[in-house]
């Protein structure tokens, strides 16, 4: 498919759900999937404890610190939000994915929820007030019992998520009516606050666009923006598995990678190995693997990069393996990290794709045994990365790459990045900005 080809899908954008239960079921779609509900307790502990009393304590803490705290927290925005193109972000990764649009359009402003943690960019984004969210918590019993009827035990297991999601939709509708943005551009399509704003936009007739910022899964909500700018065929194929693809779609490559694609790794042998982990990788297995690798491959330099949301205590590991190097995801861009590596070892993370684009040898290795996330993004099945199932296999693969690393590994990523190997390679930001401009400037932007 040519990167200049745009697909106009016959399925219209659906209207917003009109009942409270339907809305919250849409907003919490990913949280109520079988794969999420079946995650190991250790992986869920930080976001939704298995013990209902701990969940209740978390909810009360949220109500006291976040909701009541919002009432007394002043909001001083850098920009006037009225009539602007909102770039809505929920993480530092979202910010990195959309900031080029702010530079390209003088009417674009970066926006986040009032107390949303955007990491190193907290002070750089405008905030939408959530003070009135408190006024809607009378809905919680209705929402809870309504979702008990549709989702049974999962509503009880995740009553904390239901509580967190209450009020976003109503408050965001008020914000849209107050500021009347020209459009809202998203880079996340499954968080509760993101989906609430998307539904609010539909209700208020505000056009929406989506710029993909990371690999997607067939467990995501169906694609439902007026314009969706996806990285490649992989994303489109997976969204088709999620449900009807709605709105206008174009494949634009990976804008955030533009500045790095001309810096591909040309080292003929692997000497530096990055290991990316997240909360889904059990600490005991991670530690055992690192101990094994550092013992078996003493000539290689290993760097561990925990996900920015991984709040576990790594100090014992630092003391156990003083030779292990570290990368802070809160301070170092993922591409800057990868530029310092010749190989990557990780389980289920889109860092595999980013590594392959830079010709970094990437190996899929699962530190845990949770069956439902086995090759979650399909990278190993499609041949984007090599797979190792045991520490011995992993060490053998690294030894082989230490002898010879191919110079054309990046070509494997063509299915995931539509501009790779074309005249548009490294120009995804230009192409994305042009498509957004055209969409905003034509009557077809509003559906």
Domain annotation for the chain: domains and CATH numbers: 6-254+424-445 (3.40.50.2000), 260-415 (3.40.50.2000)
- Is the pLDDT at 443 greater than 60, yes or no? no
Q: Are strands 6-8 and 248-251 parallel, antiparallel or unpaired?
A: antiparallel
- Is the pLDDT at 8 greater than 80, yes or no? no
101: nearest Cα among 22, 216, 211: 211
Phi-psi region of 82 (alpha: psi -120 to 50; beta: other; left: phi over 0): beta
Place of tokens 């191919």: 406
Report the pLDDT averaged over residues 311-328: 95
% of the chain at pLDDT higher than 90: 71
- Is the pLDDT at 21 greater than 50, yes or no? yes
Residues 248-260: tens digit of each pLDDT = 999 999 999 999 9
pLDDT at 86: 98
pLDDT at 7: 59
pLDDT at 446: 46
pLDDT at 412: 96
CA torsion sign, 277 to 341 to 328 to 102?
Answer: negative
pLDDT at 69: 76
pTM (2 decimals)? 0.88
- Is the pLDDT at 413 greater than 60, yes or no? yes
Report the pLDDT averaged over residues 64-72: 76
pLDDT at 32: 87
Q: Kind and range of the H or E element at 147?
A: helix 140-151
Residues 354-411: tens digit of each pLDDT = 999 999 999 999 997 666 678 889 999 999 999 999 999 999 999 999 999 999 999 9
Q: What whole-number distance in Å separates Cα of residue 204 and Cα of residue 384?
A: 42
Residues 339-348: tens digit of each pLDDT = 999 999 999 9
Report the pLDDT averaged over residues 137-160: 92
pLDDT at 2: 43
């Amino acid at each position: 498919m040519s990167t200049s080809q745009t697909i106009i899908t016959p399925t219209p954008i659906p209207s917003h759900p009109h009942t409270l239960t339907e809305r919250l079921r849409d907003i919490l779609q990913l949280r109520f999937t079988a794969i999420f509900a079946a995650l190991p307790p250790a992986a869920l502990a930080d976001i939704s404890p298995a013990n209902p009393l701990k969940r209740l304590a978390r909810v009360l803490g949220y109500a006291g610190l976040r909701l009541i705290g919002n009432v007394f927290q002043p909001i001083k925005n850098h920009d006037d939000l009225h009539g602007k193109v909102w770039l809505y972000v929920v993480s530092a990764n979202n910010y990195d994915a959309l900031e080029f649009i702010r530079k390209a359009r003088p009417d674009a402003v970066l926006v986040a929820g009032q107390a949303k943690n955007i990491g190193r960019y907290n002070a750089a984004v405008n905030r939408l007030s959530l003070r009135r969210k408190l006024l809607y918590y009378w809905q919680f019993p209705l929402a809870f019992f309504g979702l008990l009827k549709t989702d049974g035990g999962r509503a009880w297991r995740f009553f904390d998520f239901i509580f967190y999601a209450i009020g976003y939709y109503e408050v965001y509708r008020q914000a849209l009516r107050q500021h009347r943005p020209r459009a809202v551009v998203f880079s996340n399509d499954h968080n509760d606050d993101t989906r609430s704003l998307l539904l609010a936009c539909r209700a208020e007739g505000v056009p929406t666009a989506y710029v993909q910022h990371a690999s997607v899964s067939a467990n995501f909500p169906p694609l439902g923006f007026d314009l969706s700018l996806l990285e490649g065929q992989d994303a489109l194929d997976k969204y088709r598995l999620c449900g009807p693809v709605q709105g206008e779609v174009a494949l634009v490559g990976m804008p955030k990678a533009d500045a790095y694609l001309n810096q591909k790794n040309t080292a003929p042998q692997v000497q530096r190995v990055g290991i990316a982990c997240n909360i889904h990788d059990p600490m005991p297995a991670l530690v055992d693997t690192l101990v094994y690798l550092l013992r078996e491959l003493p000539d290689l330099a290993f760097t561990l990069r925990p996900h920015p949301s991984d709040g576990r205590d790594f100090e014992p590991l630092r003391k156990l393996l003083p030779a292990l190097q570290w990368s802070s995801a809160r301070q170092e861009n993922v591409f800057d990290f990868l530029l310092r590596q010749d190989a990557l070892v990780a389980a289920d993370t889109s860092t595999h794709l980013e590594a392959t684009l830079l010709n970094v040898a990437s190996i899929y290795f699962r530190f845990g045994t949770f069956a439902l996330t086995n090759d979650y993004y399909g990278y190993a099945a499609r041949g984007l990365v090599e797979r190792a199932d045991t520490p011995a296999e992993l060490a053998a693969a690294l030894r082989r790459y230490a002898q010879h690393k191919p110079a054309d590994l990046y070509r494997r990523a063509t299915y995931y990045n539509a501009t790779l190997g074309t005249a548009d390679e490294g120009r995804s930001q230009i192409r994305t900005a042009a498509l957004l401009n055209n969409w905003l400037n034509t009557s077809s932007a509003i559906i």
